[in-house]
Amino acid sequence: SVSDGLFIVTWKLLFCQELFIAMSVFSSLRYLGPRKLNIPCVKTSLAFGSNQFSYNIKRWGSHGPAKFVIKPTDFQWRKFKDLLHFYVWVGLIPVTLITLYANIFIGPATLTEIPEGYEPKHWEYEKHPISRFIQKYIKTDPQMQYEKMLHYLYEKSEMKIMKNLQRQVDEKMAERGDYQAWYYNPVPAKYLERSRDTHQSYKLLGQPEP
């Protein structure tokens, strides 16, 4: 039994020694493995194995190579078209709806007898409701416009008369030469009178003037 116990202890020591050596070898391979993977032949073999399962397919749907064409920007042109399209529709949709409403629910006006003592307004002579709205709130009363034109012609006529009169006055002033024109600058007489009195005083006293 003693010999058996010694054999078992010896066998365990040998097994532990072999296990320690194997673990040391594996731990040294841990630093060697990544370096070996960086070798070109190893990388090529690994890549060849992976390419068997995943690869890209080129599709030439446009019947030509893909190109990135460099050209001047057209941002402003596209922005202009977008804004034009937007504002055209912003104005077109309300105008269309208003026109449909005016023609369907209101309709054109009809001629009727004018009540006694009533003076029709100028917009009431229009047939279409939109035309009546424009004449009432946007345009000027034709009678008022006519009176304004008459006043303008009157002012022009008066201005023409005044210009003719001024031309005649200028001609007479240039012809006779005895009138004070607008550029005449009157000189005060008191300084001339004082100088004359001083001169006469020195003359009466018989003294020379300084």
Q: Which sequence spans correspond to the domains of the chain?
A: 13-47
Query: Helix, strand or coil for residue 9?
Result: helix
- Whether the per-residue pLDDT at 56 is higher than 80: the answer is no
Q: Is 131 exposed, middle or buried (0-12, 13-18, 19+ CB in 10 A)?
A: middle
Percent of the chain with pLDDT over 70: 69
pLDDT at 28: 55
- The set of residues, in sequence order, having a beta carbon less than 8 Å from that of 59 and lying 6+ positions away, is none
Q: Nearest-CA neighbor of 128 among 113, 98, 108?
A: 108
Percent of the chain with pLDDT over 90: 40
Query: Helix, strand or coil for residue 101?
Result: helix
| 65-71: average pLDDT | 79
pLDDT at 24: 57
- Whether the per-residue pLDDT at 189 is higher than 80: the answer is yes
**Which of 77-81, 130-134, 201-205 is the least confident region?**
201-205
Q: Which residue has the higher pLDDT, 104 or 185?
A: 104
